[in-house]
Structure 1
Amino acid sequence: MYEALWRTLPGPAPVKAVIALALVVAVFFLLMEAVFPWVSTLMPYNDVVV
């Protein structure tokens, strides 16, 4: 899978590395800003009663 992604990226190896790093950072921020907050509302540990 990663090899197919690497082959589809344009440019020489250093440019591909920078693009791949930018994609990883973009996915990380997307998960932290949109996906994880939505999932945390569905988790049972938010209903804690002491």
Structure 2
Amino acid sequence: MYGFIWRHLPGNPWVKALISVVLVLAAVYVLFQYVFPWAEPLLPFNDVTVNDQ
């Protein structure tokens, strides 16, 4: 998959590397700003049961 993306990016290797970094940063931004806040109420991280022993 990464080879496919690399071959289809325009430019020389330095330009491809820069575009790759920008794409990764954009993906991380979208995840933290939109996906994770949307999914957080659906995940059971706050449903903790502790027995008194």
TM-score, L = length of structure 2: 0.83
Runs (5+) with no aligned partner, structure 2: 49-53
Structure 1 or 2: more helix by fraction: 1
Q: Give the alignment's Cα RMSD to 1 decimal.
A: 1.5
**In the TM superposition, what is the alpha-carbon distance from 1:32 to its structure 2 partner?**
0.2
Query: SS of the residue aligned with 2:42?
Result: coil
Report the structure number with the largest CA radius of gyration.
Answer: 2
Q: Identify which of structures 1 and 2 has the higher relative contact order when contacts are C-alpha pairs closer than 8 Å and 6+ apart.
A: 1
2:40 matches 1:32: no
CA distance in 2, matches of 1:45, 1:28: 21
Moved over 6 A (4+): none
State the number of aligned residues. 49
Unaligned runs of 5+ in 1: none
